[in-house]
Amino acid sequence: MLLEHNWIIVLLLTQSVICCCLLVLLIVLYVRQRSRFSELCERYDRLVASVNGIEDTLTNFIREYEEEENSTTEVSENVTGEEKINTPDERFRDKVMLLIAANYTNPSYTPAQLIQDMCMSRSLFHRKSTLLLGQSAGRLINAYRMEKAKSLILSFKEMNISDVAYAVGFSDPKYFTRSFTKYFGCSPTKMTDNSQ
């Protein structure tokens, strides 16, 4: 009888050990899955945050693009206080002339720099400038410099021609004199003499 009880005890203990092992195994699996689940949740949260960031950036870009496209005209006030409508072509012309006016005294300001400041490709700028202004970038800069030089020569008759050349963005007075003569048909000194 004792042997039967021992066998039952051994069987019960074996079953208990197996149950404990299964319980421990289930706990380990639960903890692992729980950490794995939390890791997956963290990855999902990071992914959602990055997608939302990209979505916000794209939404802002699309909104700005649509606003730019929708605002084909801009209303501004001129000197007399009247409202004036600026078309994209007028804004292009005004921006080109403002950039040239701001940089004409710089001898290293080239047509390439003007085109870069306008944020356009060379071919698009050339097409628009010849269509709207009748000249290429180089000729626009040169014409502006020549008109400023003429204005200086006529306003300040005592001013030296080389000083005029440097003042309007030429680094070589001889080249300035050749360009001026080609543009106006007379030399700067003749223009000074004629104005007196």
pLDDT tens digits for 101-145? 999 999 999 999 999 999 999 999 999 999 999 999 999 999 999
Q: Which candidate, 193, 188, 99, places its Cα nearest to that of 151? A: 188
pLDDT of residue 1: 45
Residue 48 lies in a domain: no
Residue 77 lies in a domain: no
Residue 157 lies in a domain: yes
Range of the domain at 124: 85-195
Residue 189 lies in a domain: yes
In degrees and rounded to multiples of 5, residue 73 shows phi and psi of -130, 150
CA dihedral of 46, 52, 58, 62, whole degrees rounded to 10 = 180
Residue 122 lies in a domain: yes
pLDDT of residue 2: 46
Which residue type sits at 178?
R
In this prediction the pTM is 0.57
* Contact residues for 100 (Cβ-Cβ < 8 A; gap 6+): 114, 140, 141, 144
What distance in Å separates the CA atoms of residue 171 and residue 190, rounded to the nearest whole number?
A: 21
What distance in Å separates the CA atoms of residue 25 and residue 27, rounded to the nearest whole number?
A: 5
Mean of pLDDT over the chain: 77
What distance in Å separates the CA atoms of residue 136 and residue 114, rounded to the nearest whole number?
A: 11
As a whole number, mean pLDDT of residues 40-46 equals: 62
Residue 134 lies in a domain: yes
Place of tokens 């004792």: 2
Question: Where does residue 13 rank: exposed (0-12), middle (13-18), buried (19+ CB within 10 A)?
Answer: exposed
Per the structure, the count of domains in the chain is: 1
CATH number, domain at 122?
1.10.10.60
As a whole number, mean pLDDT of residues 44-52 equals: 56
Q: How many CB atoms lie within 10 A of CB 96?
A: 23
Residue 54 lies in a domain: no
Residue 69 lies in a domain: no
